[in-house]
Amino acid sequence: MRTVDEIYFIPGRPFSCMRDAYLVGAGQSAYGAFPEESYRSLFRTAFDAAVDSVPDEFDADEIDEAFIGTLGVGGRQLGLSGPAVTEHVGLDGVPCTRVENACAASGFAVRQAVQAVKSGMADVALAGGFEVMTDTSSDATKYWLGVSGETEWERLSGTTFSGVYAQMASAHMNEYGTTREQLSRVAVKNHANGAKNPHAQLGFECTLADAQSAPVVADPLNLYHCCPTSDGAACALIVGEDVVDDYTDDPIRVAGVGAGSDSVGLFQRDTYTGVPASRRAAETAYEMADIDPADLDFAEVHDCFAIAELLAYEDLGFCEPGDAGDLIESGATELGGDLPVNTSGGLKSKGHPIGATGAGQVVEAFKQLSGKAGDRQVETPTRGLTHNVGGSGGAAVVHVFEKQQEVSAR
C-alpha cells in the first residue's frame, strides 16, 4: 500500500509513485457582458472550444471526473451548480464537484483535476469555471465581490476590494517607493496584449496618459488600475500519462502544482506588501517542477488590480521584494521581453469572470505552448506559469506547464 507521502506531493518528501498529468485541450468563451447568454450557454461554448482544441479525436464520453469553479454571483443555482453545467453539455452521470475559492475557484478546480489524474482516480478529467456578473446592479455586484473578503470586519464595515488593494498599494508605495506611473504601466502593457486577444472584454490599447488620468476609485488606484466585472466560462482537459498518446503527439505536462491559503482578512496578516499564500504556492510548484523562476518563458498572473501584478512579480520570484516597479519599467514583462506576463491581457483587459478566471489562465498557457496564440505568441516557449488568487490573498494556486518534447530534447 502506498503511503500518503507517495500519493500526494509534500514539499521535501518523496514524489515517486504519482503518474504524470497532461494538458491536452483548453478553451473559453469570450469575456464581457452578454445579456443574451446564460451561465449554461457560456459554459457550453467553453467546453466545445476545449474539446475542439484537442489535437486528436476526443470523445466527451471518456471524461471520468469534472471539477467546476464558481462563486455564484447573483445567487443563481448556488447548490449543484457544477452538475447544472456538466449535465447541459451531456456529461450525465459523470462525478462532478463544485469548487469555490473566490476568484481562485477554477484555478483550484484545475488543481483538483490534476490530483485526480495523478492519483489514478481518473484517466481524463475536466476542469472549468463560469460566472455571470453583469446582470446585477452595481450595489449587488459589490456585495457579491465583498463576500470573498472578511465578512464581519471588512465587508460589513464598508470596505470594498478596491479599498483593500488600495491599502496594499499604499503600503508598497510607502515601503519601496513604487509610483502611480508604475501602476499605470501595468495597465498599458496588459491593454496592449488584450488588444491582440479576440476573447478580451476590454480589447483596446491605452496610453500611459490615459492610465494615469483616469478617475480615482480608491486612492491611489484609479479606474485603469482595476479589472472589469465579466461574464464568461473556461475549460481545460487533463489526462494521465497512460492515455495522453491517444490525444496528442505534442504533450504539455503539468510539471508543477502548488497551493496556499492565509487569513481571509488583510488586516489579519503580517504584511500588506505581499501575498504569503502566493509565495507558498509558487515554492511548492517550482520544487515539484524542479525549476527556478528564471526557467519560465511566460506567466499569467492574477492582476485584479495593478498592484496585484506587481506583488505577483515579487511573490513568484520574478524579482526581489521592492523591485517590481523597476521590473515593469524595464519592459521585461512586455510581449517580446525576457518574461512576458499576461499575454492574454490579464484580468485587467481580458476580463475577470470570477469562477472562470483560473481556468482561463490555463487556456492562455495551452495556446502559448501549442503555438496558437496569434499576434500575442511568445517565441518558442517551453514553460509557462499560471497564478490565481482568491480574494485579497486568502487562497492562491500556481501551475507550471511545460512542453514535454522540447524539455526531453534538451
pLDDT for position 404: 79
Rounded to whole angstroms, the Cα distance separating 207 from 205 reads 7
Q: Please tell me whether residue 248 adopts helix, strand or coil conformation.
A: coil
Domain boundaries, the chain: 21-136+228-401
* Strand spans (E) along 170-297: 216-218, 221-222, 232-240, 252-261
> Beta partners for 127?
67, 236
What global pTM score does this model have? Answer: 0.94
Answer yes or no: 226 catalytic. Answer: no
pLDDT of 14 reads 47
pLDDT in tens, the chain (410 residues): 333 344 444 455 444 468 999 999 999 999 999 999 999 999 999 999 999 999 999 999 999 999 999 999 988 888 899 999 999 999 999 999 999 999 999 999 999 999 999 999 999 999 999 999 999 888 888 777 777 888 888 877 788 889 999 999 999 999 999 999 999 999 999 999 999 999 999 999 999 999 999 999 999 999 999 999 999 999 999 999 999 999 999 999 999 999 999 999 989 999 999 999 999 999 999 999 999 999 999 999 999 999 999 999 999 999 999 999 999 999 999 999 999 999 999 999 999 999 999 999 999 999 999 999 999 999 999 999 999 999 999 999 999 999 976 555 54
103 carries an active-site annotation: yes
Half-sphere exposure of 373 (CA within 13 A, CB side): 26
Catalytic residue (one of 103, 206, 226, 304): 103
Distance CA 20, CA 117 (A): 8
172, 199, 225, 352: the catalytic one is 352
Residue 183 C-alpha cell reads as 501602476
Amino acid 147: pLDDT = 78
What local confidence, expressed as pLDDT, does residue 2 receive? Answer: 36
Q: Which helix (H) or strand (E) holds 161?
A: helix 161-176
CA distance 52 to 50: 5
E strands, 74-182, are 96-99, 124-131
Q: CATH second-level architecture of 21-136+228-401?
A: 3-Layer(aba) Sandwich (3.40)
Q: Which DSSP string corresponds to 378-410?
A: PSS--EEEEEEEETTTTEEEEEEEEEHHHHHH-
Q: How far is CA 39 from CA 59, 85, 147, in A?
A: 23, 8, 20
Query: What local confidence, expressed as pLDDT, does residue 407 receive?
Result: 57
